[in-house]
Amino acid sequence: MSDYEPFVAVETDEKIAVYPGTFDPITMGHLDIINRSLNLFDRVIIVIATNSSKKPLFSVEERLMMIRACFPGNEGRIEVDTVDNLLVDYAYTKGAKAIIRGLRAVSDFDYEFQLALMNRRIERDVETVFLMTGFRWIFISSSIIKDVARHGGDVSGLVPDHVCEKLREKYLQI
């Protein structure tokens, strides 16, 4: 007998999207994509997922806290979660029809294309939807923000205030 258990999708009429990322830390660019997603979907699940080639500065708990603190009054339409296994399986079990990815520059495209096609190969019922990041955030990334903060530079306006504070605390500890 096989150990394989098929994933069971939640039956729902809600339009649900999953927005995955490392979020180390969440930036204004991510928030811009989340706001755009809320115009298209009833509910957005922000999921901290593992990118095996990254070694995050913040723990999963710290990242969860920083993301949750961005949405004090929006609990009904926003959920924040973590996933340890395949993202597309998670999306399917949650009844999500879409995985949201933000596109900044052309350089994002190759990698995003690869992820989207692999996810589609695994689960055909979940589409990847690409949203274009607001122009102001096209040149930021979590790494560049961490690099500036590590050297004592000012990142206010590029991340929420509470994230600015967390970055300051983190680099004082190191």
Quick one: CA torsion of 147, 59, 73, 14, rounded to 10 degrees?
Answer: 110
Nearer residue to ligand COA within complex by CB, 21 or 160:
21
Cβ at position 24, least distance to ligand COA in Å: 6
Cβ at position 29, least distance to ligand COA in Å: 2
Nearer residue to ligand COA within complex by CB, 1 or 128:
128
The DSSP-derived string for 124-162 is: TT-EEEEEEPPGGGTT--HHHHHHHHHTT---BTTB-HH
Footprint on this chain of ligand COA (rule: CB under 6 A): 20-22, 24, 27, 29-30, 33, 49-51, 54, 86-87, 102, 104, 115, 118-119, 133, 137, 140-143
CA separation (Å) from 84 to 52, 66, 126?
11, 19, 18
Cβ at position 84, least distance to ligand COA in Å: 8
Residues designated catalytic: 30, 54, 104, 142
